[in-house]
A and B are shown apart, each in its own frame.
Chain A
Amino acid sequence: MPSLKIFKIAFIILIIGIFITIYIVISNKNNSRNINVYYPPEANFEHILHQCSNSKNKLIYHKVSRDSDAARQELTRLLVAKDHDIDLMYLDNTWVPEFANSKWIIPFSSEYQKSVERDTLEGPLKSAMWKNKMYAVPKNTNVQLLWYRDDIVKDVPKTWDDLVSYAKELKDAGKPYKILFTGARYEGLVVNFNSMLASLNSGLLNNNGKLILDNNTSRALSTLRDVSKSDVVSSSLVNAKEDEVRLEFERGNAAFEINWPYIYESMKQDNPELFKHLKWATYPAVDPNIQSRVTIGGTNIAISRYSKHNKQDLLNVVDCLRSRESQKYTALYSGLPPTNASLYNDADIKKRYPMSDTIQEELTHYALRPATPLYNSMSTVIANILSPPYDINPHESIIALRQELNKVINSKVILP
């Protein structure tokens, strides 16, 4: 019976296949020279990993999701399961308290911390700290700027109020006038609110993690509402995330845009005509007498508690990843602003980033997001309360914020 023979052969092939698979899995597991780096897709990051690999340790790039919420879920799932395979990971700077408090990452020694302090900007450095210990090293930072068109805007407004009245004048004159910023119900809305609050020298949490809800909160809320309610914002404000904002500005019917520096490169490609008129300024202030502060973003690198690798080897890799050379390469070829202070005076960087002085100025007047392990839940709750921003009632919003954020702090919050 020929069919029986085929079955026998198929069965043998199957068994061999299973053994080969098991062998590959085991041999990969035992390959202790590989250091696994969990990092989101970033242009030319392979090059940096290659530079930081040596004969002793080879760095393996495990791409996590580009979307930061999804990436956080992927990482937390591995860490909750105490996965040994994860050695180094990227942390969005809002996750440091969460990962540190959950004991998923290990703190760096105070000596190492001092060496990082020497060449790193203060804002990004603080975003890597939790309870006075450094749990991650800043790799690159990011900050939103006020972008405008110099063919229609002659005198850049300094505050949100001025911005609105300027845009109204443009509208009356029949010119492109819109003010674009992220107003969708997500973290981007929280970032704008946080920057407005910080621009009044306030914040949501004090140093002891207790809520601060006072006149400044109310003023920041009314500013956010007044801007959103004005007739000079985009009609799709409540759906606008970074990319919607970028695309709408590229279409040419807006005068102002609050966004990250990545829009510079994409404008150059998408709309070269408009690109000639693309200029930038610092984030608008809330009070004309108080310096505006803007929330910083950025990426930090941390070491997993569950890594079985030699700690010194891991430290060497971290050192290489955050080195001046790596950061310069990332700034030039991946478009991400460095955390290394000296690079802002580097000729190549200045040439590549005409706006680097403005970025540096904003980084000296930085604002951090509330430092709490529960930032993720907190931001979901805040975004819910502030959305849609044109309907904010400062008094009611403060009551809602107090009620809901206290629940977050006591692990009693229920996310929608």
Chain B
Amino acid sequence: MFKKYNKSEAILGLLLCSPAILLIFVITGYPVLYSIWLSLHTIDLHYPNSNSFVGLSNYLEVLGNHYWWQSCLITLIISSVSLLLELILGLALALVMYYTVIFKSLMRTVILIPYGIVTLVASFSWRFAWLQNVGYLTNAFSLDAPLTKRISAILIIILAEVWKTTPFMALLLMSGLTLVSNDLLKVAAIDGANIFTRFVKIMLPVMKPAIVIALLFRSLDSFRVFDSIYILTNGSNGTGSVSVQTYNNLIIGLNLGIGSTMSVLIFLMIIIISFIFIKLFKVNTLKEKS
């Protein structure tokens, strides 16, 4: 990567970058290393004097625990289903935002409103809507107590997630739409390609980088889903995600060893997801930029 530059330029470049790199290391590197260190110890704040090095036994404990795998499954279900719905709806909204002829800016603003609302506030309003006896949606669908039953609670969490982040997806996808040349579409139409063919053969391939980036961002984001679950069910009845479980062990249980082990595992899973995405879709961000 330094081939273009001569040696002194490269050194100067590195020197100029170094404060930023140092800062990033201090801000993110230290906590990451500290949680890895914690995860190798038995540290429970209830027993301040009994910390001991236990090697990987915390990892074995967590990986052998059925609650952990249950949370992993729930996280996977919530993030994949919501990702799929967000992609479909986001694409539709992006097309609407991009091709609408009337009230263009009003339309864009309205679509972006859910994204502008703080997740916590949005989750509270969903919770009130689905409460037993008093929630307007509970009454509208004459349900009993949807948030206390596992399947309906998970569906509500997915709904809240989708409602909240579809606009963000649409925004990212719209940036991909701007790459699609109108002339190309017109030529294709003249050549007899119908609207569906134009969409699949021209728009989607051109938009691919934007779609992949949007999917990557959202999948990493939705894998850490916490706020909406915390407010809607607080993880009860087996609806907790890995983040909720980590919070319960780390902050409520004050078990720093087990809790840090979980956060390190989440960190590893996120690395794996990004790796799969980059390999699977052959995204090379550097190449694409150049």
Contact = CB atoms under 8 A, between A and B. Distances in A.
Bind each other: yes
Interface of A: 69, 73, 76-77, 80, 98, 101-103, 185, 236, 238-239, 373-374, 376-377, 380, 411-416
Interface string B24-45: 0000000000000000001011
A80 B44 CA distance: 11
Contacts of A416: 67, 70-71, 235, 238, 240, 245, 248
A416 B244 CA distance: 9
Nearest to B252: A73
Given A73-B251, A185-B236, A238-B148, A411 B67 contact: no
A145 B91 CA distance: 58
Interface stretch (B113-121, B202-210, B253-261): B253-261
Interface string B44-70: 111110000000000001100101101
Given A411-B42, A411-B44, A416-B240, A376 B252 contact: yes
Given A80-B254, A374-B46, A414-B61, A236 B245 contact: no
Contacts, number: 68
Contact of B145 (A80, A236, A377, A414): A236
Contacts of B65: 414
A415 B42 contact: no
Contacts of A73: 251-252
A380 B247 CA distance: 14
A102 B62 contact: no
Nearest to B49: A103
A238 B144 CA distance: 12
B248 A415 contact: yes
B80 interface: no
Contacts of A415: 67, 245, 248-249, 252-253, 255
A98, A236, A414, A415 — most chain B CB neighbours (10 Å) = A414
B23 to A, nearest CB: 23
B237 interface: yes
23 contacts: A77-B251, A80-B254, A102-B45, A102-B46, A103-B48, A185-B236, A185-B237, A238-B148, A373-B46, A376-B252, A376-B253, A377-B253, A411-B44, A411-B46, A412-B61, A412-B258, A413-B255, A413-B258, A414-B62, A416-B67, A416-B70, A416-B245, A416-B248
B139 interface: no
Given A73-B252, A238-B148, A376-B252, A414 B68 contact: yes
A374 B44 CA distance: 10
B132 interface: yes
Contacts of B249: 414-415
A78 to B, nearest CB: 13
Nearest to A69: B252
Interface in B213-253: 235-238, 240, 245, 248-249, 251-253
Nearest to B65: A414
A413 B45 CA distance: 14
Contact of B254 (A76, A239, A380): A76
Contacts of A102: 45-48
B25 to A, nearest CB: 24
